[in-house]
Amino acid sequence: MLIVGINGSPRKAGSTAFLVQEGLKAASSKGAQTVLIHVADVLADQKQPFCTHCSSPCQGLCFRGKRLEEAYSLLRQADGILLGSPVYFGTVSAQLKAFWDKSRLLRKEKALLNVVGAAVAVGGSRFGGQETTLKALFDMMLVQGMMIIGDGYQDHDCGHHGGCSQAPAVEDEFARERVRILGLRLAEVAAATMSLRRRKL
């Protein structure tokens, strides 16, 4: 079982990356293999960082032989994805949106159909657009045919939308705990739904 964390922040050591890693640690404790993708890194060698809809259906021409192709190869193997973004004007970062927009080829392949998805968002204030950002993350995953979960778990309550934090996340103990719960549920649901992801090896 593979759980992929995606840090949608331009900062590799910021609050979003920290929270995604907390969730991955929890998933790992349930036996999942985990890997973290920094979108700023995998977009760095793109000639044009934003999708220009250069082919329809998408042929993946813009990322062939690039780091983005390697990242998408990991997503094709994922049983669960933990998607994280800082709040930028009430929604996701431009870096994460660019990363996801260029994944049109994965949608054509139905590569993420029935992959379990969860989300975390970090704002500059306590009520700084985290939930609207989570909703945007959910919409992005739903268009890929993914299954969305919140942060409920058997040993806790039924949960909320996902992990919401005020920066700096390292000082937000409530958010850290909710993201750990989210990681546990992500691994649990991913394990329970393995048969739904029919893939050619």
Average pLDDT estimate for 173-184:
95
> Mind listing the pLDDT tens digit for each residue in 147-171?
999 999 888 888 889 999 999 999 9
pLDDT confidence of residue 176: 94
Average pLDDT estimate for 52-63:
83
Collapsed DSSP state (helix, strand, coil) of residue 178: helix
Q: 61-65, 72-76, 168-172, 194-198 — which is least confidently predicted?
A: 61-65
Average pLDDT estimate for 42-46:
93
Average pLDDT estimate for 63-78:
93
Between 85 and 159, name the one with better pLDDT: 85
Summary mean pLDDT of the chain: 93
Tell me whether strands 33-38 and 80-86 are parallel, antiparallel or unpaired: unpaired
Q: Which position has the token pair 């929270």? A: 19
Contact 106, 70 (CB under 8 A): no
Amino acid at 27: A
Rounding to the nearest 10 degrees, give the CA dihedral for residues 65, 66, 72, 74. Answer: 90
Provide the phi-psi class of 192: left if phi over 0, else alpha when psi is between -120 and 50, else beta: alpha
Q: Give the C-alpha separation, 183 to 188, whole Å.
A: 9
pLDDT confidence of residue 58: 85
At a CB cut-off of 8 Å and minimum separation 6, what does 34 contact? Answer: 2, 3, 4, 5, 24, 25, 27, 28
Contact 15, 167 (CB under 8 A): yes
Q: Could you tell me the pLDDT band of residue 52, with boundaries at 50, 70 and 90?
A: confident
pLDDT confidence of residue 159: 85
HSE-CB for 36 with a 13 A CA cutoff: 20
pLDDT confidence of residue 199: 67
Average pLDDT estimate for 89-104:
96
Average pLDDT estimate for 189-193:
96
Q: Which position has the token pair 């900062």? A: 11
- Residue 111 CB coordination number (10 Å): 20
Per-residue pLDDT at 16 exceeds 50: yes
Per-residue pLDDT at 200 exceeds 60: no
Average pLDDT estimate for 28-37:
97
Q: Could you tell me the pLDDT band of residue 57, with boundaries at 50, 70 and 90?
A: confident
User: Which domains are present in the chain?
Assistant: 2-194 (3.40.50.360)
Secondary structure element (H or E) that encloses residue 19, with its range: helix 15-29
pLDDT confidence of residue 201: 47
Q: Which position has the token pair 């870096």? A: 95
